[in-house]
Amino acid sequence: MPDSVLSPVVETPVWRYRQTGLAPGQRLTVEQVSATDPVGATNAPDTGLMATIDHIADEVAVAMEYNGISHATVLATPQNLDDLARGFSLTEGIIRTPADIYDIEAVPHPNGITLQITIASACLNTLKQRRRTLAGTTGCGLCGLESLGDVERVLPTAVAPVMPLQPGALLAASLQLRDNQPLHQQTGATHAAGWANASGQLVQVMEDVGRHNALDKLVGYLARFPELRERGGL
């Protein structure tokens, strides 16, 4: 599947007005602001403001379909969707290991994208037991569950890190994160999740309007490169 089936950034005719000539301390009146035309104006000299086209991070409906069974729909930034499919499948407990996914195909539609995910037949029973529908407005993992009995899940025992993580490595990784977010730098509207090695050097950063999607994309990326996890990191 291609890395992206749609552009993650959209040029939009939503106009943002910026001050260009107001004296210090001078404020605009309501009449001055309302007199500007946010649709057709390119500048508004009487108000000291200028209209510019902005860039926004795109967010589209992404439907997860497993072996032809519709399972959930999320709102996501349309890039790294194969990793989103892997990460979502793992964190939702639909598959046991990355090897349970045989194929991922992204099918664009006028109103969104369908991710057709082919999984091992042994995982279908788990899928049918935990059927739910997500509106895509939250990533808490609980919204849409059919009963309270589905809230508590059996999780595997956490694996101890290969080596102890040092506070300096965590700080070094966090300081690098912003510089490795090209979508955020362009739009100011995306979250990010990153993986760094044990020394704090960033290896991969994933972005999405939804922070839960960014994390799922990172989980999906790491699923493709188990050697990164085996070496240890954060």
Contacts of 215 (CB under 8 A, 6+ apart): 87, 91, 193, 206
Is residue 196 within 8 Å of residue 209, measured between CB atoms? no
φ, ψ dihedrals at 103, nearest 5°: -160, 150
Which of these, 195, 178, 199, 179, lies nearest to 234 by C-alpha position?
195
Q: How far apart are CA 131 and CA 9, in angstroms?
A: 32
Strands (E), 77-145: 101-109, 112-119
Contacts of 44 (CB under 8 A, 6+ apart): 17, 35, 36, 37, 50, 51
Instruction: Please pick, among 23, 30, 99, 140, the residue that the annotation labels catalytic.
Output: 140
Q: How far apart are CA 29 and CA 24, in angstroms?
A: 15
Q: Establish whether 123 is a catalytic residue.
A: no
Q: How far apart are CA 201 and CA 174, in angstroms?
A: 10
Would you name the residues annotated as active-site residues?
140
